[in-house]
Structure 1
Amino acid sequence: MKQMKVETVSTTRIRPASPTPFHLRILHLSLLDQLLPPSLYGAILLFYTSPPSSMKTVDEKLGVLFKSLAETLVLFYPLAGKLRPDGVSIDCDDEGAFVVVSHTDSRLEGLLSRPDPTLLERFVPARDQETMKSAKDTVLLLQFTTFGCGGIAISICPSHKLMDASSICTFVRTWSTITTRDSHEHFSQLVKLPKFIGSSLLPPNKTLPTMKSSSASLSGPISGFAGVTRRFIFTASKVAELKDRCSIFPEIGEKRPTRVEAVQALILKCTIRAASTQSKSRHTSVVFQSVNLRKRMDPPLPDNAVGNLSWTQPVSLGDGLNIELCEVVIKIRKVLDDFYDGRAARFVGEEGAAVIAECLREKHEMLSVGGNFYGVTSLCRFPFYEMDFGWGKPAWFVGPSVFNNFFVLTDTKSGDGVEAWMTLDAKEMDILTRDAEFLAYATADPVDGLNLYRCRL
């Protein structure tokens, strides 16, 4: 599949189906949005097979997507705008989302049988330099890639200045519902209008930095090497074994580890061990844990609140060399519980700015001391596998890693396993893929993936 040729067919802009009212022309971003660089774009990839029951041609599918996207942008009007130079606002000028249409003669089943991380870059418009030049300051980029078998890949790449993972999920769910609204009897009940309320909760603050580039981001770990990305699968049975292994320790308490807690504990334990073999001295290991603030704020925010309503909380694991799985779970739980109880609800107003400033100082202190820094974000339980545009649910979805020493966890299609996309230093990745403890639970690029993601012809 490394020989797969993906060619650009066309580029265009999709504008909202109706103009944005004048009083909504400028969207002011929040303080949390302010802290993210304009060059950073998220990415979600959805792959759809072409089932025999589907009567639509590829061109008809694209036409449906274009039309429903224009209607969806009426509700998500900032996504049709451009980032302003001040870094804290969006010009909702209806210039439109930037859309790339591409094609490959290859069959989708070949890609899904054993996904190649370097190959996936060809489906992500935000990773293409020429596309980014053409789409300068555009808030939303999309790419529709059609396959020789009739399948299609949809790549959603919004600016991280406006959208976190929960926001992307809200957008895609609304878009897919609008696309298939004729089949929904209660359309108005299924679509929740997005709420752009970030700036009213946390206005921008002149005393805190406005990020200019992703290398200056304070949102997560910074690494100076070119990493290697690999995909690992933790089946439901292996996840259950990990959870049981953690639970035998009385320190874990009555609350058994979740799938995510158990898997990330193993990942961190084994990657820290791999890093230690590359250094003659011991280093502190810190994991930056992504957390959704919506349900933690006071009062709680709805799921359709759009913006960067999330935070990356650092957790120190010490040198981590002899740490047990349950210790990783306990340390992360303790720090996150303290954060939820003492700070998360205070991310509002002037007090929120002070709390965030304090959190940033702590991050700076950790980064300045040095050590091994890791980032973990979980897309598990987000309903991306439910996104049906009229030709069935996705055969597969992935959120590619964008940082070194960064791990993205997603559901397997069955919903009870975990898929991990991990980016590490090449030598450390080589050590990890030979780690007996890690491989007792994780399968690297399983060759039987075709049985899970078979293209139905």
Structure 2
Amino acid sequence: MTTKVTVISVENVKPSSPTPHHLRTHKLSFLDQLHPTIFSFVSLCYLKDDSSGQAKAAEALNKLKESLSKALTPFYPLAGRIQDDQLSIDCNDEGLYFSEARVNCNLSDFLREPDLDLLNHFYPCHPAKIQPYAGIHPVMIQVNVFDCSGIVLGFCLSHKILDGISTSAFLKGWAACAQGCFESVSPTFDATSLFPPSDKLPMGSITLLGRSMVRTGNCITRRFIFNAPAVAALKNKAAISSGVRHPSRIEVVSALIWKFAMSVAESIAGSRRPSILSHAVDLRRRMVPPLPEFSIGNLLWIPYTKCSAEEDTELHSLVLKLRETFTGIDADFVKKLQSGEGVEITCENVKEMAELYSKGPVDYYGFTSWSKFGIYDTDFGWGKPNWVGSHKISGPVFMNLIHIMETNEDDGIEAWITLDGTEMAMLLEDQEFLSFASVDPSPLL
């Protein structure tokens, strides 16, 4: 039997209380401006007892809608519409896009061997063909109900207002409302006052630079799990050789993926090329004083790390490079961004990158991490998710992207890696790389 995802209803869920007039326009910050109209995708899978039946699923669906309406009162911009100029959100309470779908299989069957093509249909806008109307919605949600009454929540989230931590904050707030803890939900939307918008950003140059990082061909997305013992081994290996004190999970796993991605690219090209790794860094925890986790907006910076064709690509060397990059994003750096130097820093970064690309082919790898964000703690009253997924990237135009997720196992890492098909095939045959990672395992193991 062919598994089908059938959308049976679409509606707008509105805030339970109207947004005050003085909050009607939410201006986007300088950091929000730097993000193009791209979307994040995340799915939360909840196994439920077969005996609960569709009646219980209907009860859960009503609970989700009622609590979402309450959560949208403090998260009011998410029920608005992104303006054509991409500089503000009209907080008009038109409502958050909310669809319900039926899936004609059991969720446990899907989770035994996740089909990433099928997973993409759990989202309200398919990642391979974003609908035009998605560009005006800050958040879109699809609730997928399986034959067993299991539920998958699929989210399409605009990067114009939400980064990973903002997404986690929204999920925690919604779940708190579902459990009757409405008073504990108190998001702040201070990003614009902290990082005022600017009309001097070189958006044309940023767009051209972004296009130079795009590849053509057939890409493949695969899931790689680095369990706790593997991560511990990598941290120990990197610490002994590099002298980096207490390398983080993100540093060692990112360095390992970068190392082997460069290796397969070199094998195919026949020679080493310069390589660039960008990695999103949260600014909330690096400010003095730190911002609370419920601070909403793109409160992150995306620094890049270079590795020339002549430099060492051993794990410890790459970990050291990443540590130097990350430590450079400190409280003083954030103050420069806030003081108005952000435009100058952005222009200089764009200039440096453009000069590097002008000298010949460059391999680019974009990393983002949603680890330690607490998304696995999202409990609407029927337990925590059994799996938190991302999405499959497909099409003839793509970028080398690595989305790092947490796992439901302590200290594990789940990396969703998208590479050219030939490069991915070589990575899947590299026994040294696979000694640290398992490929596409079932989330139920």
TM-score (norm 1): 0.89
Cα distance change, pair 114–172 in 1 and its aligned pair in 2 (3 A): same
Partner of 1:292: 282
Alpha-carbon contact 2:371-2:405 (below 8 Å) kept: yes
Cα distance change, pair 248–302 in 1 and its aligned pair in 2 (3 A): same
Structure 2 letter corresponding to 1:248: I
Does residue 256 of the first structure (1) align with residue 258 of the second (2)?
no
The 3-state SS of whatever aligns with 2:89 is strand
1:223-372 to 2 correspondences below 5 Å: 223-249=215-241, 251-253=242-244, 255-319=245-309, 323-340=313-330, 343-369=333-359, 370-372=361-363
Does residue 99 of the first structure (1) align with residue 98 of the second (2)?
yes
The 3-state SS of whatever aligns with 2:215 is coil
Cα distance change, pair 289–136 in 1 and its aligned pair in 2 (3 A): closer
Mapped partners of 1:349, 1:209: distance in 2: 18
Partner of 1:160: 159
Unaligned runs of 5+ in 1: 453-457
1:183-222 to 2 correspondences below 5 Å: 188=183, 190-191=184-185, 193-210=186-203, 218=210, 221-222=213-214
Mapped partners of 1:387, 1:220: distance in 2: 38
Structure 1 letter corresponding to 2:226: F
Structure 1 letter corresponding to 2:214: I
Structure 2 letter corresponding to 1:350: G
The 3-state SS of whatever aligns with 1:43 is strand
Alpha-carbon contact 1:31-1:204 (below 8 Å) kept: yes
Partner of 1:20: 19
Mapped partners of 1:433, 1:215: distance in 2: 33
Mapped partners of 1:359, 1:195: distance in 2: 30
Residue 391 of structure 1: CA displacement? 0.8
Alpha-carbon contact 2:386-2:444 (below 8 Å) kept: no
Structure 2 letter corresponding to 1:256: H
Mapped partners of 2:196, 2:77: distance in 1: 17
Partner of 2:371: 380
Partner of 1:417: 412
Cα distance change, pair 401–305 in 1 and its aligned pair in 2 (3 A): farther
Superposed CA offset, 1:109-139 (max 9, x none): 1221122222211112232688724545122
- Higher mean C-alpha displacement, 90-99 vs 202-211: 202-211
RMSD: 2.6
Alpha-carbon contact 2:227-2:411 (below 8 Å) kept: yes
1:6-45 to 2 correspondences below 5 Å: 6-38=5-37, 40-45=38-43
Residue 54 of structure 1: CA displacement? 6.2
Residue 367 of structure 1: CA displacement? 4.2
Alpha-carbon contact 1:31-1:203 (below 8 Å) kept: yes
1:39-78 to 2 correspondences below 5 Å: 40-51=38-49, 57-78=56-77
Does residue 408 of the first structure (1) align with residue 403 of the second (2)?
yes
The 3-state SS of whatever aligns with 2:73 is helix
Residue 52 of structure 1: CA displacement? 7.1
Partner of 1:455: none
Residue 203 of structure 1: CA displacement? 2.0
The 3-state SS of whatever aligns with 1:100 is strand
- Higher mean C-alpha displacement, 75-84 vs 222-231: 222-231
Alpha-carbon contact 1:287-1:315 (below 8 Å) kept: yes
Structure 2 letter corresponding to 1:153: V
Percent of pairs with identical residues: 36
Structure 1 letter corresponding to 2:363: N
The 3-state SS of whatever aligns with 2:216 is coil
Cα distance change, pair 294–43 in 1 and its aligned pair in 2 (3 A): same
Mapped partners of 1:322, 1:41: distance in 2: 35
Residue 320 of structure 1: CA displacement? 7.4
Mapped partners of 1:70, 1:178: distance in 2: 9
Residue 95 of structure 1: CA displacement? 1.0
Cα distance change, pair 309–225 in 1 and its aligned pair in 2 (3 A): farther
Mapped partners of 2:126, 2:165: distance in 1: 21
1:131-146 to 2 correspondences below 5 Å: 132-146=131-145
Mapped partners of 2:203, 2:20: distance in 1: 28
Residue 400 of structure 1: CA displacement? 3.0
Residue 248 of structure 1: CA displacement? 2.5
Residue 152 of structure 1: CA displacement? 0.3
Residue 336 of structure 1: CA displacement? 2.0
Q: How many residues align?
A: 439
Residue 144 of structure 1: CA displacement? 0.5
